[in-house]
Structure 1
Amino acid sequence: MHCDIYKFPKHNDMYVYIARPCYPDDTDDIKDWLGVLPKDFRASLGVSKFVMHLDLGDTPTLARVDKEEVLAKLKSQGYFVQMPPQDVMLRQAEQRARDAQDKKYD
C-alpha cells in the first residue's frame, strides 16, 4: 500500500496519511487527494504541506504509530491521522491557555 503524508502548520506534529492504492498509475491525473477527509475536519486543518510519499509494503516499522493500524485505517477509510504525542499536546494546550490569558488582559 502506498500513501502520501501531509502536515499542517496549524497543528504541530500531526500528520495525515492518504491512501494511494493505485500508485504510480494514478499520478497522471491531477486529483485532490485530501478530498477523502471529512469536510469539517479538512476545513479545520488549514493549508496542507506535502511531506513525503511512502510505500508501506517496503517499510518495516513507523516511528510513532503501529504500521498495522495505519494500514487498516487506510484500507477502511482512505486516510489515517497521526496525532502528536501526549506530552506535545499538553505543551500546546498550555501555550494556547497562556496566549488566551495574555489576550484577555491586553
Structure 2
Amino acid sequence: MKRICSIYKSPRKNEMYLYVDKRDALTRVPEGLLAAFGAPQHRFDLVLTPERTLAREDVVKVLENIEKQGYHLQMPPPEEEYIEHLPDELLRMNDPV
C-alpha cells in the first residue's frame, strides 16, 4: 500500500499532527476533531509505504487509520514525569541533628 499523505500541524497543541490522504485533504476528518485541533496548518506532503520509517509513529498503523477512518491523529509525546516527592535522602538532610 502506497499513499501520498498531507500532514497538518495543530496550532493549539504542540507536536500534534493530522495525517490524511492528499486527495481527500481534510474532508474525512470529523468536524468535532477539527474544532478541537484548531485551524490545521499544512506542513508538508509525504509518500507513505509500509517500508518507510517514521520518527514517532508506526507507519502501518498510520496507513490503516487513513484507510479506515480517513485520518491518523498523532498525539504529542507524554510530558516527562516530574518528581512528586523528594527522595528520602534529601528529607533526612533537613532533619535537625
Partner residue in 2 for 1:65: 57
After the TM superposition, which residues 40-79 of structure 1 pair with which residues of structure 2 at under 5 Å, given as runs? 40-57=32-49, 60-79=52-71
Q: How far did residue 54 of structure 1 move?
A: 0.4
Q: 1:67 to 1:58 in 2, by over 3 A?
A: closer
Q: Structure 1 residue 9: deviation in Å? A: 1.2
Q: CA deviation at 1:84?
A: 0.7
The alpha carbon displacement at 1:59 in A equals 6.3
Tell me, yes or no, if the aligned pair for 2:8 and 2:17 is still in contact at 8 Å: yes
The whole-number CA distance in structure 2 between the counterparts of 1:59 and 1:52 is 19
Per-residue deviation, 1:85:
0.7
Task: Say which SS state the counterpart of residue 15 (structure 2) adopts.
Answer: strand
Structure 2: 5+ residue stretches without partners:
83-97
Q: Which structure dedicates a bigger proportion of its chain to helix?
A: 1
* Superposition misfits of 4+ residues, deviation over 2 angstroms: none
Evaluate the alpha carbon distance shift between residue 76 and residue 42 of structure 1 in structure 2; reply closer, same or farther with a 3 A threshold: same
State the one-letter code of the partner of 2:35: A
Distance 1:3 1:57 in 2: 10
CA offsets 1:10-37 (integer angstroms, 9 cap, x no match): 11100000113xxxxx5xxxx7x21211
Q: Normalising to structure 1: TM-score of the pair? A: 0.66
Does the residue aligned with 2:66 lie in a helix, a strand or coil? helix
Aligned residues: 80
Q: Which runs of 5+ in 1 are unaligned?
A: 21-25, 92-106
CA contact 2:20–2:71 (8 Å) conserved in 1: yes
Determine if contact 2:10/2:17 at 8 Å carries over to the other structure.
Answer: yes
Q: Which residue of 2 aligns with 1:4?
A: 6
TM-score (normalizing by structure 2)? 0.72
